[in-house]
Structure 1
Amino acid sequence: MPRGGPDASCLDRLLETDRLEYLDRDSGDPGVASRKRSVIRALELTGDWFGNHEKFAHIALDEVAEVPDPRILELGAGHGGLSAKLLEMHPTAHVTVTDVEPQSVAAIKAGPLGSDERATVAVVDATDIDSADGSFDLAVFALSFHHLPPAAAARVIAEGTRVAHKLVIVDLPRPPAPLHLIRLATMLPLAPFIPFVHDGVISSLRSYSPSALRALAAEAGPDVTVELRGGLLTPQVAVVARPRG
């Protein structure tokens, strides 16, 4: 399925890539490992500077506002900034902080979250979560969903809505193709020199449209519902759930 959805235009279908971001590459090469660390650090800093961690934490916590002691699973945590903010903003929440990259998990464990009694840090593949049905009140996947190809993305939706009552996906918006071209044109000149911009270009080309998210939710299960908010100039938010017996 195209990243722009089943009915994506020809131009939109051209604005895709299978090229890997530095974040997706094997860290065995010292040069790649250095660029990867640079991107993770930039994501952490921009999250602090622009208040993204706090904004995303508010989005997540609004979904469990009626739960006294929410159990929250963060998928694709990267640097763990969102989980740290969730714990700061909710005094009785317990957060399970996960990422598929062992190096990222090791770095999180070595930081404040590793010693926080309300945090559990673990390596977890979001497409195959080793937890029982309904183990969490909420799962959240922020700024990482676009890394997944469509088949894996549908599996994450299926798994996230299995282990948690709701799955909140916060990710880059995919603008209409003409605006997308303008956005890419402003970024491309810097992409060869700045790893964060390099990954930003690829992220933009791999972002999912609202119609694509609906199609992925339908593929995850006939009973999966999705509520979409934001997009274009703000992060795209999808609240995905399935009925509980």
Structure 2
Amino acid sequence: MGDYFGLEGKLVATQRISTDIDSMPRGGPNARLADRWLQTAHLEYTDRSDVPDSIKQAVIGALVQIGTHYGTHEANARLVADMVADIAQPRILELGAGHGLLSQRVLDLHPGALVTVSDIDPALVAAIAAGPLGSHPRATVRCIDATAIDAPDNSVDMVVLAAGFHHLPPGAAARAISEATRVGAKFLVIDGIRPEEPSKLLLRYLILPPVVGAVMLFRLGSRWSAILPTVHDSFITCLRHYSRAALEALAAVHPSITVEFPATDRIEADDKPVIFARP
């Protein structure tokens, strides 16, 4: 009887934690009131089914342009390649690949890497498959849901999700962490980390990045038809980023999962690495 009630207690506790996570603010369980105001349930254009594909492609194209010009894709790819440098043929699963440039560059940097490039959007997967990755001998292109990964346990050396973790609401984000660490030894997330000071969040994080992004795109010669929806999505992205405390709480849903915030020389508004792992 004691064992039964112990198991029942664990199930109740797990259910309570899951419920708490579903309603957790992006600033973490103990986020201040001002921090809770500065978040949104609105979706980015790239996540909406009622938005024409032309707008989504305009946003993706603008992000590619910025990431290529300012070296974001290169920096992220080198981070991934460095983390598996001591493995002769590392198996890497990229979730939420979008345009696929990260995986494409990782294949260039690591001559033995075997990469599965995936996204949940069939249209994006089709576009990736129609490009260079579709015929690359060390690449596989698949449609995969980050919260329900169709792959065996410990089937890859690393799972990576760049600039996309914030798209997941807390409950889904916790499931993605569980799934990614089930199939891979490490789950590398590269995304913005929400400041915990409301003044810094408002002035330096929510206002400057969209404005700076618009100026960057204008200088790069982008059309207003691409700039305006990209600024819209940039603003929502900043409202949806998770704080360090929130990321720790998401990992804590599964007691065996650890979370690490590697030191980086990236500026505060840049996307930063977070590593989730099981022992």
> Which of 185, 189, 199 is the equivalent residue of 1:178?
199
Alignment partners' CA distance in 1, 2:37 and 2:47 = 21
Alignment partners' CA distance in 1, 2:85 and 2:31 = 36
In the TM superposition, what is the alpha-carbon distance from 1:188 to its structure 2 partner? 7.2
Question: Is residue 89 from structure 1 mapped to residue 109 from structure 2 by the alignment?
Answer: yes
In the TM superposition, what is the alpha-carbon distance from 1:132 to its structure 2 partner? 0.3
Counterpart for residue 151 of structure 1: 171
Q: Deviations over 1:116-168 (max 9, x none)?
A: 01100010001000100011000000000000000000000000000001000
Question: Is residue 61 from structure 1 mapped to residue 77 from structure 2 by the alignment?
Answer: no
**Secondary structure of the equivalent of 1:237?**
strand
Counterpart for residue 42 of structure 1: 62
Counterparts of 1:133-212 in structure 2, within 5 Å, are 133-175=153-195, 176-182=197-203, 183-186=205-208, 187=210, 194-212=228-246
**Conserved? CA contact 1:139–1:166, under 8 Å:** yes
Alignment partners' CA distance in 1, 2:165 and 2:278 = 19
**Conserved? CA contact 2:85–2:110, under 8 Å:** no
In the TM superposition, what is the alpha-carbon distance from 1:232 to its structure 2 partner? 2.4
**Secondary structure of the equivalent of 1:161?**
helix
Counterparts of 1:205-220 in structure 2, within 5 Å, are 205-219=239-253
Alignment partners' CA distance in 2, 1:146 and 1:110 = 27
Matching residue's letter, 2:236: I
**Conserved? CA contact 2:192–2:269, under 8 Å:** no
Question: Is residue 239 from structure 1 mapped to residue 270 from structure 2 by the alignment?
Answer: no
**Conserved? CA contact 2:259–2:274, under 8 Å:** yes
**Conserved? CA contact 1:172–1:204, under 8 Å:** yes
User: Across the two proteins, how many residue pairs are aligned to each other?
Assistant: 239
Q: Deviations over 1:192-242 (max 9, x none)?
A: 9611110000000000001100100111x1110010134724322111100
Question: Cα RMSD between the aligned structures?
Answer: 1.9
**Conserved? CA contact 1:174–1:232, under 8 Å:** no
Alignment partners' CA distance in 2, 1:92 and 1:211 = 36
Report which of the two has the higher share of helix: 2
Gaps of 5+ in 2: 1-23, 215-223
Alignment partners' CA distance in 1, 2:33 and 2:145 = 33
TM-score (norm: length of structure 1): 0.92
Matching residue's letter, 1:214: E
Over 2 Å off, 4+ runs = 183-193, 229-234
Gaps of 5+ in 1: none
**Conserved? CA contact 2:114–2:138, under 8 Å:** yes
TM-score (norm: length of structure 2): 0.82
Matching residue's letter, 2:37: L
Alignment partners' CA distance in 2, 1:83 and 1:41 = 17
Q: Deviations over 1:83-109 (max 9, x none)?
A: 001001111101000000000000000
Counterparts of 1:71-90 in structure 2, within 5 Å, are 71-90=91-110
Percent of pairs with identical residues:
50
Q: Which moved more, 1:158-167 or 1:35-44?
A: 35-44
**Secondary structure of the equivalent of 1:222?**
coil
Counterpart for residue 217 of structure 2: none
Question: Is residue 227 from structure 1 mapped to residue 248 from structure 2 by the alignment?
Answer: no
Q: Which moved more, 1:232-241 or 1:196-205?
A: 232-241
Alignment partners' CA distance in 2, 1:140 and 1:6 = 25
Question: Is residue 10 from structure 1 mapped to residue 44 from structure 2 by the alignment?
Answer: no
Alignment partners' CA distance in 2, 1:112 and 1:95 = 13
**Secondary structure of the equivalent of 2:273?**
strand
